[in-house]
Amino acid sequence: MSEPIAAVVVRAAELTARGFPQRAIELLRPALAANPLHAEAWCRLAAAHLDAGQPDPALDAAKRALVLDGDHAWAQRLAALALSELGRHQEAVVAARECVRRKPGDWRCQVVLAEVLSAAPDTRREAVEVGQEAARLAPTEARAFQVLGDAALRVRDWGTAEWAYRSALRLDPADEDVRANLATVRRKRAAAPAHPSGDALTLAHAMVWPALSRLAVLLVGGGLLLLLAGMPKPTPLLGWFSGVLVVGVGAVVLQLLVRARRGVRKALFALPRHRPKVAAVTTMFGLSTLVLAGWTVALFLGATTMQPLVIAWLCALVGGSVVVLAGGR
């Protein structure tokens, strides 16, 4: 009498876990020939083929499971991994996203999506975000942190990669692959240049210049209005309007910092050292804002001079001229 297929599936899972996927395949094939409608057995066969480095039959087995009643999310995960192994990246991403759609709270679906997204340069940043979600969903699973570390390693996010690998090792100290990757991250992090990359500086420049244009409008236009309103003698009431102008400048700067990611934010602070025009504009606008803030305080204390405002406006005018003439180049 033949062995029940449920028992065969359990034995196949044990063989695969012990590193004998080919024996699991040999066990499952005849059982599925007799029970072709057993979705779990098809999934287990697909997993064994993947462990044996055979993505083509793994994809076929996963497809068979998808048309049967069973855990379709598991079948989608296996299909996504097989498609990724075959180099069919777009199809793999579609299958992995479908898996997440079916079970958004299943950390294993998030792990597979992070893995397939990491395979292409244009989706590696998203892979880090998905890996972070997997780690959030499964804080006790070393595999979730390992995949997050792998994704962060590919985008050279050394801090996230080191944290993820260290977390994975705390959960599974025996994983030598993670230990080796952690050593690689530490070595690369130590050898990484202190200055931001050219790509980060370019992205920072693309974000800074529109902000500088808005600051030019605020400081030059607002300063001119204050000059006209303050003639011939400013009053403390004018200090409220100049204070609003200073707050507006701060809001533009804060919005820029909030929008920038961590790596780009670091490049923002380094940008004036590498872009002379940005350095000149930020210096002029910074002086203008500081003088304007000081004049605002002086107005509330009873001052009646217009000279600080003139200086602030001239600084803003010089910076604004550079913004207009440079045109973001």
Contacts for 204 with CB less than 8 Å, ≥ 6 apart:
196, 260, 264, 267, 268, 270, 271
In a domain, 37, yes or no: yes
pLDDT of residue 111: 94
Answer with the one of 168, 192, 216 that is the final residue of a domain. Answer: 192
Q: Is there a domain that residue 5 lies in?
A: yes
Residues 261, 182 share a domain? no
- Give the residue numbers spanning the domain of 31: 1-103
**Structural domain tally of the chain?**
3
Flag whether pLDDT at 2 surpasses 80. Answer: no
38 and 18 both lie in a single domain: yes
**Do residues 182 and 212 share a domain?**
no
Assess whether 124 and 99 both reside in one domain.
no
| Assigned domain for 186 exists | yes
pLDDT of residue 227 exceeding 80:
yes
In this prediction, residue 3 has a pLDDT band, given cuts at 50, 70 and 90, of: low
Q: Please check whether residues 6 and 34 belong to one and the same domain.
A: yes
Q: Which of 69, 103, 137 is the last residue of a domain?
A: 103
Residues 261, 205 share a domain: yes
pLDDT > 70: what percent of the chain?
94
178 with 264, same domain: the answer is no
Task: For residue 57, name the pLDDT band (cuts at 50, 70, 90).
Answer: very high
Choose one of 71, 103, 135: the last residue of a domain: 103
Give me the helix-helix angle, 72-85 and 107-117, nearest 10°.
20
**Peptide bond preceding 232: is omega within 30 degrees of 0, i.e. cis?**
yes
Domain shared by 180 and 203, yes or no: no
Indicate whether 95 and 4 sit together in one domain: yes
Please tell me the predicted confidence (pLDDT) of residue 200.
Answer: 66
Question: What local confidence, expressed as pLDDT, does residue 45 receive?
Answer: 93
| In a shared domain, residues 84 and 134 | no
Q: What is the C-alpha end-to-end distance of the chain, expressed in Å?
A: 80
Domain containing residue 163: CATH number: 1.25.40.10
Closest Cα partner for 180 from 193, 194, 160, 161? 161
The answer to whether residue 108 is domain-embedded is no
In a domain, 236, yes or no: yes
Same domain flag for 314 and 202: yes
Distance CA 246, CA 249 (A): 5
pLDDT number for residue 1: 33
- 175, part of any domain: yes
Q: Is residue 167 part of a domain?
A: yes
Question: What pLDDT does 4 receive?
Answer: 84
What's the predicted TM-score (pTM) here? 0.57
pLDDT in tens, 110-127: 999 999 999 888 888 899
Average pLDDT across the chain, whole number: 87
Same domain (yes/no): 220, 262 = yes
Q: Is residue 156 part of a domain?
A: yes
- H helices of the chain, in order, are 5-17, 21-34, 39-51, 55-66, 72-85, 89-102, 107-117, 124-137, 142-154, 158-171, 176-191, 198-216, 222-230, 236-259, 262-274, 276-300, 307-326
21-30, 272-281, 314-323 — which is least confidently predicted?
272-281
